[in-house]
Structure formats: C-alpha cells, structure tokens
Amino acid sequence: MTQGFVVENASVRRLDRSRVKRILFQLRLVSGLVLILYVLMHLTNLALGLHSIDAMEKARHVLLFPWMSWPGVTLLTAAVLVHAGLGLMTLALRRSLTLSRTDWVQMCLGLITPPLVLNHVAVAGILHHLDPDFRPDYTFLLSVYWNLAPKSALQQVLVVMVVWVHGAIGLYSWLVLKPVWRRIGAFVTPVLFFVPILALLGFVRGGKEALAKLAADGHWQERMRHSLDIMAEARPMLDVLQTRILLIYGLLALVACAILMLRILKRRRMRVGVTFETGQRVAARPGLSLLEISLLNHIPHANICSGRGRCGTCLVAITSDPSVLTPVSATEAQTLRRIQAAPGQRLACQAHLTHGSVELVRLLPFHVDAAFLRESHPAIDTALPEQVR
C-alpha cells in the first residue's frame, strides 16, 4: 500500500511538472508574439518611407500609438521581462550545449534582445517624462540619425534586425510543424524575409527626404534645436538607466550560465551507456536525453523541432529495459498519440537516461523534413528491422 502511495505521488508530481511546463511554454510563446508584433508594426511604419515621410507619419498614429500609451508600454515591458526571464531559466536548466546552428543563432540573439528592447522603451519613457509634449516625429528622428548621429542610426537598425531575426526564427519553428503551414507558409515566409528589407529601404529613402527638408526649412531647423535641447537634458539620465539595465541583465545572464556549467560539471564523472541499432555503443553522463547523447557523439538523428517534443521525428524503439529512462511526460504522450507510435517507442528528445544503459533503434532517417512530417503519420513500427520486431 505504501509503495502504491509513493507511485501515485510520483505520478502527481510528474503531472504537475508537465502542467507547469505547458504554462511556461504558453507564457513564452505569448510574450514572444507580443514582441514580434511590436517590431512588425515598427518595420511596417519604416517601410512606408519608400513612399514619403508624410505616409510614415499618418501610419504612425495607427501602428505606433498603441505602444506609446500606458497599457501598451506596460504590455511591452511585461512581455520583455517574461520572455527574458523564461529564456534565462531555459538556459540555466539545459543539460548540455548540444544545439543546431539555427538554435545557436536563436539563443545568442535571444540573449541580446531583452536589454535592447528595454533600452528603447526606457528612452521613450524618459523623454516623455521630461516634456509631455515632446513627440519626435519621423522627420526629426531621421534628421538626427542621418545628420547628427549616424552611429545611433546604425545601432537602431541593428536593434530592430536582431529582434526581428530572433522572432522570425521562433515564429517559423513554431508554425512549420503545424498542418496550417501548408496554407499560410507561402505567405508568411516572404513576409518574414521582405519586411526588414523594405524597412531598411524606407529608412534610407525617408532619411534623404528628411535631410532635404532640414537644409531648406529654417522653421524646421529651429524645432530641431529645441528637440535636441530636450534630448541633451535627458542624456545623463538615459546613460544611467541604460547602464543599470545592462548591468542587471548581464548579472542575471552570468548566473544562468554559471548554473548551466555547474549542472554539466556535476554530472561529468557519472556515466551511462547507449547502444544503437548499428551496434555502436557510446557513453555519456546521466540526465541527458537520448537525442542529446546521439548528437554529442556525432550520431545523426532526426530532430526537426530541435528537441522540443513536438515533431516526433526523433522516435526510437527501446529494445532493452525501459525503466532506466525517465517516464513519459504529458507533452511526449500527446506527440506519441498523434504520430500513432507503438508501445515501447519513445521520443529521443524527451526520454532521459537516468542510470545504467539502454538499447534503441532509430526509426526515421535523419534527413526527414517538415514536409514529410506534415504530410504523413505512418505506422512507424513498420520501420523496425526484422530482428527487432
């Protein structure tokens, strides 16, 4: 009876952890969507510079005004903090640094994104605090960037590009595995690619128009001087705030990296073993997923979703004692049901080897792509070699 109670408690704990993981994933997804919407609206506004600065100004009241209101600022700040916090937590809880090139780019850009966005929000907030009537329009901003502060112009462009690329990779990774991608992929992919290009072209075209106006309009030159005085007054406060943001975030990032390294070093001396269907046997430290063990040992293994438990392409058949692996989580169970996996099959990205050794068979070629996954959910147990079935 006591044993049954312990097993039941363990099951409840696993269920609670799975529920927490789902909630955290949803929070990270929603906060990421808020950030990419914010950047999309900014880039769209910049792209209108291909027509004229007047077109940018007219659209600004629709595209940017929501982010200048207190609800918009609050939502954006919350999205940045949540996304940054969950990103650092995910980094700290990793068991290895086995990542694809795309995931390395995504992770590095993700670490850079939060302080850049927070600085942008802080600048707007401080300038409005100093002068509630201060509303820098595009003629002013483009004149400053192209005439007085070209380095700041380059910085702003890099900020937008970093955030956009990070968001675009995340959005694509989330959508590409869904059936709806067949209907929207032909539209979404060009948008992800062309929006930043059009924005850069609009930025250049608008800059030329702003410089022409600055050179010919004496009244506008006077307005520029007044606005620059306000910005000069705010400069010391902005420098202090930006330094604090970078310092606090940098310390949190260092803590996350330190926790990651300690987790890796702690398990380095402990060893477990995995034998593949080819007869190849490798050793690793306990706690890693079967997928991580494969990739760490340069053994090809399909993983379209990069180990997030969504695609099912890393499916393996366990041909030895499965008790050395972590139990099936709710996320893994859902994917296994969706791909009609047979008993004894696990997702290599979700099954972690806790002790001892295990034997497995990879069930899909390592080169399968998202199109294969969307178009077919075969009875994958037919891919098992005869000697294993």
Residue 205: pLDDT above 60? yes
301 CB-contact burial (10 Å; exposed 0-12 / middle 13-18 / buried 19+): buried
Whether residue 389 is contained in a domain is answered as no
For residue 295, the domain's CATH number is: 3.10.20.30
Domain boundaries, position 117 = 2-266
pLDDT band with cut points at 50, 70 and 90 for residue 378: very low
Check residue 258 and give its pLDDT: 92
Higher pLDDT, 195 or 11: 195
Same domain, 150 and 35: yes
Check residue 388 and give its pLDDT: 36
Same domain, 321 and 230: no
Rounded CA-CA distance 379/383 in Å is 8
pLDDT band with cut points at 50, 70 and 90 for residue 381: very low
Higher pLDDT, 10 or 248: 248
pLDDT band with cut points at 50, 70 and 90 for residue 385: very low
Residue 2: pLDDT above 60? no
Please enumerate, as own/partner, the contacts of 11-16 that have beta carbons within 8 Å and a separation of 24 or more: 14/327, 14/329, 15/330
Higher pLDDT, 99 or 194: 194
Same domain, 6 and 21: yes
Check residue 17 and give its pLDDT: 65
Same domain, 143 and 189: yes
Check residue 5 and give its pLDDT: 39
Give the pLDDT mean for 337-360.
91
Residue 136: pLDDT above 80? no
Check residue 160 and give its pLDDT: 79
Q: How far, in whole angstroms, is CA 314 from its chain's centroid?
A: 21
Residue 352: pLDDT above 70? yes
Whether residue 371 is contained in a domain is answered as yes
The sheet carrying 357-362 orders its strands as 281-284, 272-275, 357-362, 315-318, 345-347
Strand partners, 360: 318
Check residue 129 and give its pLDDT: 57
Look at 143-147, 231-235, 255-259, 282-286 and tell me which has the smallest mean pLDDT. Answer: 231-235
Give the pLDDT mean for 234-259.
84
Check residue 113 and give its pLDDT: 81
Same domain, 61 and 11: yes
Whether residue 307 is contained in a domain is answered as yes
Whether residue 195 is contained in a domain is answered as yes
Residue 231: pLDDT above 50? yes
Q: Single out the residue in 242, 266, 290 at which a domain terminates.
A: 266
Residue 324: pLDDT above 80? yes
Same domain, 76 and 104: yes
Higher pLDDT, 117 or 43: 43
Same domain, 152 and 258: yes
Q: Single out the residue in 217, 239, 266 at which a domain terminates.
A: 266
For residue 259, the domain's CATH number is: 1.20.1300
Whether residue 243 is contained in a domain is answered as yes
Check residue 122 and give its pLDDT: 67
Same domain, 235 and 258: yes
Residue 69: pLDDT above 70? yes
Whether residue 388 is contained in a domain is answered as no
Same domain, 73 and 99: yes
- How high is the mean pLDDT of the chain? 80
Q: What domain count does the chain have?
A: 2
41 within 8 A of 67, measured Cβ to Cβ: yes
Residue 220: pLDDT above 80? no
Whether residue 368 is contained in a domain is answered as yes
Check residue 23 and give its pLDDT: 87
Residue 66: pLDDT above 90? no
- List for the chain the helix, strand, coil content (%; round to 5): 70, 5, 25
Task: Report the sign of the C-alpha dihedral through residues 105, 330, 93, 267, in that order.
Answer: negative
Whether residue 210 is contained in a domain is answered as yes
Same domain, 289 and 334: yes
- DSSP strand E in the chain: where? 272-275, 281-284, 315-318, 345-347, 357-362
Same domain, 175 and 313: no
Residue 382: pLDDT above 60? no
Q: Single out the residue in 221, 238, 266 at which a domain terminates.
A: 266
Residue 100: pLDDT above 90? no
Check residue 230 and give its pLDDT: 67
Q: How many other C-beta atoms are found inside a 10 Å radius of the C-beta of residue 343?
A: 8
Give the pLDDT mean for 7-24.
61
pTM exceeds 0.75 for this model: no
Check residue 135 and give its pLDDT: 62
Same domain, 138 and 241: yes
Residue 387: pLDDT above 50? no
Give the pLDDT mean for 332-347.
90
Residue 333: pLDDT above 60? yes
The residues near 306 (Cβ < 8 Å, ≥ 6 apart) are 99, 100, 102, 103, 173
